[in-house]
Structure 1
Amino acid sequence: MSRAIRSVRDQRSPDWELLIVDDASDDATGALARSAAAQDARIRVLTAPRRLGAAEARNMALAQAQGRFIAFLDTDDTWHPDKLHLQIRFMCETGAALSYTGFWRVRGAHRHEVRVPAEITRKRLLRGNVIGCLTAIYDSHAFGKVPMPSLPLRHDYALWLDLLSRSCSARGLTRPLATHFRRKGSLSSNRLHALFATWRIYRRHAALGRASAAMCLSSHVIGRMLRG
């Protein structure tokens, strides 16, 4: 967590607030968060009364957020120092209500650049998620505060689909402005569970028929293989 917090505090743009949700942790998370908040008034700690899970923990922070632009950062991830400055300027210049960037994926000693398209529509996004949660920013002036669907996995993907049902497209900065550190045993690391969660989003959340859902899932799998 300290690495993620430091990456926010090192942002070139100083105009941010960081809401840290202590999701009923049983480790040093709460202490680290409170120590950071004591050092920087822009950091606030929210303590969940019980274990909420990733989606509801993010929604707890969303309800308390005061800023216009909403972004997400997990404890495993970091932002490049220029991320907020460049991405929010990009959104203001292009009028994008939802944006994303490229990022680095790190597994042990291996680092791989995840490249992203300059623009994506909802129809294209159904064929595979290219928006990394650690890179996404949405404009609450355009959408309001839109919570993540209460799903154990792929709730971020479901949110992007919801937002794009209300917008023509999302815009991407193709340069990598964040780093995701893949942990063995993380929720998203189990590929079979992740595929089932994606299928459920297609069928239940996006209300696709079986044939359309199967085509989207096939495209999703191929895209994941190509991106690495």
Structure 2
Amino acid sequence: MITVVIASRLREDRLDYLTAMHASLTRQSVPWEAVIALDGASPDRLPDPLAQDSRVRTLALPRPVGAACARNLALAHVRTRYTNWADDDDEFTDDAMSVRLNILESTGVGWCAGWSEDRHPDGSTTLWRCPAPPGRHEAGDVWTYWKSPADTIPIGPTTILAHTDLVRAAPMGGLVQGEDYCAALGVTSLAPGILLPQPVYRYRKHPGQMTRQDAYDVLEPEARRHAWNYGRSLRAALRARDTSAAAGVV
């Protein structure tokens, strides 16, 4: 029913985290697969629990291409109805797939998301409630809760479970960071969805995460500005199209 798409360079300091991500998938109560795009890494480095799990498939890329490109290339190998992005150092809550899948199957919306938790090195967690409020959101409405590019993004990209065709229509943006902002805004702009008031994803806090690197803040303002403008323009274009269609303009 669900494919989780992950990009990884199989760095030594992240292998245990990737194994924990896989373990969180094994605790799900609904059928799933995972496609791991090996961003210039050798499949021989894949941790044994993943290598021995027939539900895990790999796409070995011959050279590093970056997370956005790796994820998008892996998307072509998805063969299930629904898709969820994930990072190799995070994990899902135990009921993450079942609660969102139930919403998708029972309501017919294009996507379903939830809140997330920051997971700290001591194992404790802190709940993050995204700016977009719980409930149903019509296509394009999520962007309206991102008041300024400098503000927190309106919804957690990896908390979104969506129809695969929808994810393919709004994949990762072509950025070196913030590409997932574009993916989240694209999916939520193209179809209505529902945000649940419960955590479905855990972001692991550790020294090696991208947001802790010295160079992260250099491009972050521009990445946010690009994604914010993308969401605004996409929403405007779709609304103009709908207005023209309602007026009978071809």
Given that residues 18 and 42 in structure 1 are in contact (C-alpha distance below 8 angstroms), is that contact kept between their aligned partners in structure 2? yes
Paired residues of 2:153 and 2:181 also in contact (CA < 8 A): yes
In structure 2, do the counterparts of structure 1 residues 20 and 87 end up closer, same or farther at CA, with 3 Å as the change threshold? same
Pick aligned residue for 1:94 from 95, 107, 110: 107
Counterpart in the other structure of 2:144 = 124
Shift of 1:67: 0.5
Q: Alpha carbon RMSD of aligned pairs, Å?
A: 2.4
Q: C-alpha separation between the residues in 2 aligned to 1:24 and 1:50?
A: 4
Separation in structure 2 between the aligned mates of residue 151 and residue 143 of structure 1, nearest angstrom: 17
Letter in 1 for 2:127: E
> 1:194 — aligned with what?
220
Contact 1:37 1:45 in 2 (8 A): no
Identity of aligned pairs, percent? 23
Counterpart in the other structure of 2:188: 164
Q: Partner residue of 1:73?
A: 86
Structure-1 separation of matches of 2:169 and 2:232: 23
Q: Do the aligned residues in 2 keep the contact of 1:134 with 1:180 (CA within 8 Å)?
A: no
Following the alignment from structure 2 to structure 1, what is the Cα–Cα distance between the partners of residues 105 and 89?
28
- Structure-2 residue corresponding to 1:114: 128
Q: Distance in 2 between matches of 1:200 and 1:97?
A: 24
Of 138, 158, 175, the match for 1:134: 158
Note the residue ranges of structure 1 that are not aligned, 5 or more in a row.
209-228
Q: 1:42 is matched with which residue?
A: 55
Secondary structure of the residue aligned to 1:195 is helix
Bigger mean CA deviation after superposition, 128-137 or 55-64 = 128-137
Task: Give the aligned residue type for 2:58.
Answer: V
CA contact (8 A) 2:114 2:199 kept: yes
Aligned pair in 2 of structure 1 residues 142, 156: CA closer, same or farther (>3 Å)? closer
Tell me how far 1:141 sits from its aligned partner. Answer: 4.9
Structure 2: gaps spanning 5 or more residues: 1-17, 234-250
Once the two structures are superposed, what CA deviation does each residue of 1:41-98 show, in whole Å capped at 9, x if it has no partner? 1111111111111111111211100001010111111011211111110122232212
TM score, norm. by length of structure 1 = 0.78
TM-score with structure 2 length normalisation?
Answer: 0.71
